[in-house]
């Protein structure tokens, strides 16, 4: 099991982590102009509106880039694959990829979100599209 | 339009030794380097009335004044985002002297980055503000944070870790003949590089990473007018700029739409060429910030020294060697000389203008010093 440093939630990203706890991947949708935005931010860069609503994403996307992450000082920690995913809605999101051998990871691999407890912290994780436990199942 | 081009010059440089354990305080390192830079310029502490450093630097300006015996200070400022803002220190100092806010400014950067707080290690036990989307997923070191960005570049252009290694070999060859370099007389081969352990698979090996270093560096900046009367040949600041874009972040480019790897360096390049009236072919030496070897590739391409995806061939063909078309990081760079947050690369740029580098290139007219999001061009007075 990898060790996880948990998030410290603040005003701007509380909704995101609340969503993660409920198994929902949420981003902000500007009430003024409809633009989706992520990472969380208090003001819409397109129209400066402060009002927004949370919008649930499909959780489907493709791997934009990836690395194998090993803990630099705790070699017994299980390595994790970190992925930058481009979601269907055009949002980029960092998470981990599970259910794939590091040698099998490819850019543009189709993936779907799942929510898993890792070292006591619920985190969005991705698995290859169609794998057990993902949105499509 | 009023421009900072040709208004200021770097007239003094100073440094401590670069080591893994300095055995003294960061304040002392800053004081030693600054004192050396002031003396090198032929000035006294009473001539200095401005100080510029990084927001990350631990040395308080008032304590440094007291060490150096600077009686009166009229200007200070700090630049954010670590090495990405390294060259911005020169912009602040040049703007200060050009506007009259100060007469002569010392830029300093000093740290015990190996024996004290290590930049290459995960330092957080609690997720700091703004890092919730990264740290909990294991992005806990600069090497990993950068690698998630570099990997897309490798995929897009078919670049391998061995390609990155060819830069490391050049940097270590240049360091091998620089007595101030941590890796003096210790060159490597591509086989050494490929045998070194993975830091972030499949992107970075140990020999792709800069040195966590202890040390201090400083420089003195004043107007071109005053510069002509001082002790050293001035390094004229022909251009200096910052290049930041919306959706950029301090250590990564994850959120730019599409597949544009590093648009910031393109923005920086446009400003530097426009401000100086120069083109890539006018540059005799390039000092390119490299906390990790791939950053050199991204900058060679983004600054226009070669086309997108061509850096691997540009390097393989010997262009960045001392006898190449564009010698790069003649001091050994941050991989070979030491990592004093990029300011040591500016000092080498000044030495190339003066003609005093350990690896001096003949007839240097212009040196470009850049760190992706900030940069400058130095010229003969």
The per-residue pLDDT for range A73-99, each reduced to its tens digit, is 777 678 899 999 999 999 999 999 999
Residue B169: is its pLDDT beyond 70?
yes
Q: Do A71 and B132 touch (CB under 8 A)?
A: no
Nearest to B136 among A6, A67, A92 (CB): A6
For residue B320, is it within any domain? yes
H or E stretch at B83: none
Residue A4: is its pLDDT beyond 50?
yes
A96 Rama sector, left if φ>0, alpha if ψ -120 to 50, beta otherwise = beta
Pick the residue from chain B with its C-alpha nearest to A125: B137
Q: Total domain count for chain B? A: 1
For residue B30, is it within any domain? yes
Residue B121: is its pLDDT beyond 90?
no
Which pLDDT belongs to residue B253? 86
For residue B29, is it within any domain? yes
The ipTM assigned to this model is 0.94
Which residue did the predictor score with more confidence, A22 or A2? A22
The pTM assigned to this predicted structure is 0.96
With residues binned 3-state (H G I as helix, E B as strand, rest as coil), the percentages for chain B, rounded to 5, are 35, 20, 45
For residues B50 and B28, give the distance between their C-alpha atoms in angstroms, rounded to a whole number. 19
Q: Do A72 and B200 touch (CB under 8 A)?
A: no
Beta bridge partners of A128: A111
For residue B171, is it within any domain? no
Q: CB distance from B255 to chain A under 8 Å? A: yes
For residue A3, is it within any domain? no
For residues B46 and B310, give the distance between their C-alpha atoms in angstroms, rounded to a whole number. 50
Q: Do B136 and A80 touch (CB under 8 A)?
A: no
* For range B233-261, the mean pLDDT: 90
Which pLDDT belongs to residue B211? 87
Nearest to B136 among A7, A84, A90 (CB): A7
Catalytic residue of the set B75, B108, B146, B339: B339
What are the tens digits of pLDDT across the range A17-64? 999 999 999 999 999 999 999 999 999 999 999 999 999 999 999 999
Q: In chain B, which among 193-222 make CB contacts under 8 A with chain A?
A: 199-203
User: A98 and A73: one domain?
Assistant: yes
For residues A67 and B145, give the distance between their C-alpha atoms in angstroms, rounded to a whole number. 9
Q: Residue B232 belongs to a domain with what CATH number?
A: 3.40.47.10
Which pLDDT belongs to residue A137? 43
For residues B152 and A84, give the distance between their C-alpha atoms in angstroms, rounded to a whole number. 10
Size of interface A-B (CB pairs under 8 A): 95
Residue A136: is its pLDDT beyond 80?
no
Q: CB distance from B126 to chain A under 8 Å? A: yes
Q: CB distance from A62 to chain B under 8 Å? A: no
Return the half-sphere exposure (C-beta side, CA atoms, 13 A cut-off) of residue A11: 3
What are the tens digits of pLDDT across the range B273-324? 999 999 999 999 999 999 999 999 999 999 999 999 999 999 999 999 999 9
Q: CB distance from B60 to chain A under 8 Å? A: no
For residue A14, is it within any domain? yes
Give me B290's structure tokens. 């490299």
Quote the mean pLDDT of chain B: 96
User: A74 and A103: one domain?
Assistant: yes
For residue B316, is it within any domain? yes
B12: three-class secondary structure by DSSP: strand
User: A51 and A112: one domain?
Assistant: no
User: A72 and A43: one domain?
Assistant: no
pLDDT confidence bin for B115, thresholds 50/70/90: very high
Among this protein's residues, is B153 annotated catalytic? no
Residue B369: is its pLDDT beyond 50?
yes
For residue B135, is it within any domain? no
Residue B31: is its pLDDT beyond 80?
yes
User: A121 and A84: one domain?
Assistant: yes
Contact present, B218 and B14 (Cβ < 8 Å): yes
For residue B191, is it within any domain? no
User: A81 and A107: one domain?
Assistant: yes
Among this protein's residues, is B167 annotated catalytic? no
Contact present, A67 and A85 (Cβ < 8 Å): no
Contact present, A67 and A81 (Cβ < 8 Å): yes
Phi, psi of A103 (to 5 degrees): -70, -15
DSSP string, A40-70: --SS-TTT----EEEEE---EEEEEEEEEE-
For residue A130, is it within any domain? yes
Among A108-117, B101-110, B123-132, the range scoring the smallest mean pLDDT is B123-132
User: A80 is in which domain, residue-wise?
Assistant: 58-137
Contact present, B62 and B69 (Cβ < 8 Å): no
Give me B189's structure tokens. 């081969």
For residues B190 and B201, give the distance between their C-alpha atoms in angstroms, rounded to a whole number. 17
Which residue out of A21, A36, A67, A84 would a mutagenesis test of the B interface target, given it has the greatest number of B Cβ atoms within 10 Å?
A: A67
Q: What percent of chain B has pLDDT over 90?
A: 90
Q: Total domain count for chain A? A: 2
Q: CB distance from A5 to chain B under 8 Å? A: yes
User: A74 and A135: one domain?
Assistant: yes
What are the tens digits of pLDDT across the range B50-64? 999 999 999 999 999
For residue B196, is it within any domain? no
pLDDT confidence bin for B125, thresholds 50/70/90: confident
Pick the residue from chain B with its C-alpha nearest to A106: B155
User: A22 and A70: one domain?
Assistant: no
For residue B14, give how far its alpha carbon lies from the nearest alpha carbon of chain A (Å).
Answer: 34
User: A114 and A134: one domain?
Assistant: yes
Among A28-32, B104-108, B113-117, the range scoring the smallest mean pLDDT is B113-117
User: B287 is in which domain, residue-wise?
Assistant: 8-116+211-379
User: A21 and A84: one domain?
Assistant: no
User: A79 and A43: one domain?
Assistant: no
- Sign of torsion, CA B116 B121 B125 B127? positive
Chain A hits for B254, CB-CB cut-off 8 Å, are 84, 92, 94
């Amino acid at each position: 099991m990898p060790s996880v440093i948990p998030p410290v939630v603040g005003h701007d990203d509380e909704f995101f982590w609340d969503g993660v706890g409920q198994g929902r991947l949420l981003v902000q949708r500007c009430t003024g102009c409809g633009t989706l935005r992520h990472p969380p931010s208090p003001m819409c860069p397109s129209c400066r509106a402060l009002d927004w609503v949370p919008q649930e994403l499909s959780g489907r996307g493709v791997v934009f880039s990836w690395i194998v992450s090993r803990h630099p000082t705790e070699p017994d920690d299980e390595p994790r694959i970190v992925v930058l995913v481009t979601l269907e809605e055009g949002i980029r999101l960092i998470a981990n990829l599970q259910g794939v051998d590091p040698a099998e990871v490819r850019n543009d691999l189709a993936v779907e979100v799942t929510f898993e407890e890792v070292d006591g912290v619920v985190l969005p994780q991705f698995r290859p599209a169609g794998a057990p436990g993902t949105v499509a199942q | 339009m009023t421009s900072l081009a040709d208004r200021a010059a770097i007239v003094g440089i100073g440094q401590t030794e670069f080591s893994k354990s300095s055995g003294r305080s960061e304040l002392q390192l800053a004081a030693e380097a600054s004192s050396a830079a002031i003396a090198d310029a032929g000035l006294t502490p009473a001539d200095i009335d401005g100080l510029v450093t990084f927001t990350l630097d631990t040395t308080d300006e008032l304590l440094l004044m007291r060490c150096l015996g600077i009686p009166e200070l009229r200007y200070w400022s700090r630049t954010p985002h670590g090495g990405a803002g390294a060259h911005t220190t020169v912009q602040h100092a040049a703007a200060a002297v050009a506007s009259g806010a100060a007469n002569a400014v010392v830029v300093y950067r000093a740290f015990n980055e190996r024996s004290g707080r290590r930049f290459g290690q995960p330092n957080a036990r609690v997720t700091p503000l703004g890092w919730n989307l990264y740290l909990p997923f294991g992005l806990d070191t600069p090497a990993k944070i950068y690698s998630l960005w570099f990997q897309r570049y490798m995929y897009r252009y078919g670049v391998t870790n061995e390609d990155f290694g060819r830069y490391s070999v050049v940097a270590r060859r240049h360091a091998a003949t620089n007595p101030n370099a941590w890796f003096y007389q210790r060159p490597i081969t591509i086989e050494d590089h490929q045998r070194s352990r993975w830091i972030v698979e499949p992107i970075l090996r140990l020999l792709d990473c800069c040195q966590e270093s202890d040390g201090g560096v400083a420089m003195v900046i004043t107007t071109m007018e005053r510069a002509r009367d001082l002790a050293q040949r001035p390094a004229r600041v022909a251009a200096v700029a910052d290049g930041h874009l919306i959706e950029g972040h301090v250590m990564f480019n994850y959120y730019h739409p599409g597949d544009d790897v590093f648009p910031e360096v393109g923005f920086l390049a446009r400003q530097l060429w426009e401000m100086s009236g120069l083109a890539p072919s006018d540059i005799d030496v390039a000092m390119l910030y490299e906390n990790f070897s791939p950053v050199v590739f991204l900058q060679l391409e983004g600054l226009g020294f070669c086309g997108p995806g061509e850096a691997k061939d540009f390097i393989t063909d010997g262009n960045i060697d001392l006898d190449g078309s564009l010698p790069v990081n003649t001091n050994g760079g941050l991989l070979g000389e030491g990592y004093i947050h990029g300011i040591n690369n500016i000092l080498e740029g000044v030495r190339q203008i003066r003609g005093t580098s350990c690896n001096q290139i003949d007839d240097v007219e212009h040196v470009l010093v850049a760190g992706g999001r900030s940069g400058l061009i130095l010229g003969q007075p």
